[in-house]
């Protein structure tokens, strides 16, 4: 039996894998930094139901439930933009389903690691209501622990 505990990948394989991983995922701190700078780098899509969105979402996030993503509804989005999808957290695969549908339709997309759970955990702002709103100008800067 082989002990896989200390079976490390070749550096070139690790580089390829980790490069790909960074292309598919973004963490809460990096996304918050982008929002704080008010850059147009990405459009944040909350892929949960409208009810859950109203109860709390990332400022500026647009509610676009993954269950409503079809060729017709996706055609309303710009293929020039970059998108970040999120749902409740690691126990929910709505973000993955939304990102899959976007990618399959030819959009550039990443998933927010840990979804709204990790966003909250890291003390980033959350707003309630049916409108995306904007990033709060007085939002405290939260430093990444890594």
Give the whole-angstrom CA distance, residue 97 versus residue 99: 6
Amino acid 64: pLDDT:
96
14 CA to centre of own chain: 23
Give the whole-angstrom CA distance, residue 146 versus residue 140: 18
Q: What is the pLDDT along the chain (146 residues), one digit of tens a residue?
A: 566 677 889 999 999 999 999 999 999 999 998 877 766 668 999 999 999 999 999 999 999 999 999 999 999 999 999 999 999 999 999 999 999 999 999 999 999 999 999 999 999 999 999 887 666 545 555 555 55
Amino acid 39: pLDDT:
63
Amino acid 123: pLDDT:
93
Exposure string of 12-27, with b = 16+ CB inside 10 Å and e = fewer, is eeeeeeeeeeeeeebb
Helices (H) and strands (E) in the chain, counts: 6, 5
Residue 127 near residue 57, CB atoms below 8 Å? yes
pTM for this structure? 0.86
Long-range own/partner contacts, residues 62-69 (CB < 8 A, 24 or more apart): 62/132, 63/130, 63/132, 64/98, 65/94, 66/94, 66/95, 66/97, 66/98, 66/101, 69/98, 69/101, 69/102
Is residue 58 classed as helix, strand or coil in its secondary structure? coil
Give the domain ranges of the chain.
Answer: 28-74+84-131
Instruction: For the domain made up of 28-74+84-131, give the CATH fold.
Output: Oxidized Rhodanese; domain 1 (3.40.250)
Q: How buried is residue 6: exposed, middle or buried, by Cβ count under 10 Å (0-12/13-18/19+)?
A: exposed
Amino acid 7: pLDDT:
83
């Amino acid at each position: 039996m082989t002990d896989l505990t200390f079976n490390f990948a070749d550096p070139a394989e690790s580089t390829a894998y980790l490069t790909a991983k960074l292309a598919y995922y973004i963490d809460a701190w990096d996304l918050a930094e982008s929002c704080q700078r008010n850059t147009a780098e990405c459009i944040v899509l909350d892929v949960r139901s409208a009810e859950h969105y109203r109860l709390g979402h990332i400022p500026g996030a647009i509610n676009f439930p993954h269950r409503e993503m079809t060729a017709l509804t996706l055609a309303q989005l710009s293929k020039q933009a970059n998108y970040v999808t999120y749902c409740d957290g690691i126990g929910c695969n709505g973000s993955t389903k939304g990102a899959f549908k976007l990618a399959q339709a030819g959009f550039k997309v990443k998933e927010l690691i840990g979804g709204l759970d990790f966003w909250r955990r890291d003390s980033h702002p959350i707003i309630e209501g049916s409108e995306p709103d904007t990033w709060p100008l007085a939002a405290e800067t939260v430093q990444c622990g890594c």
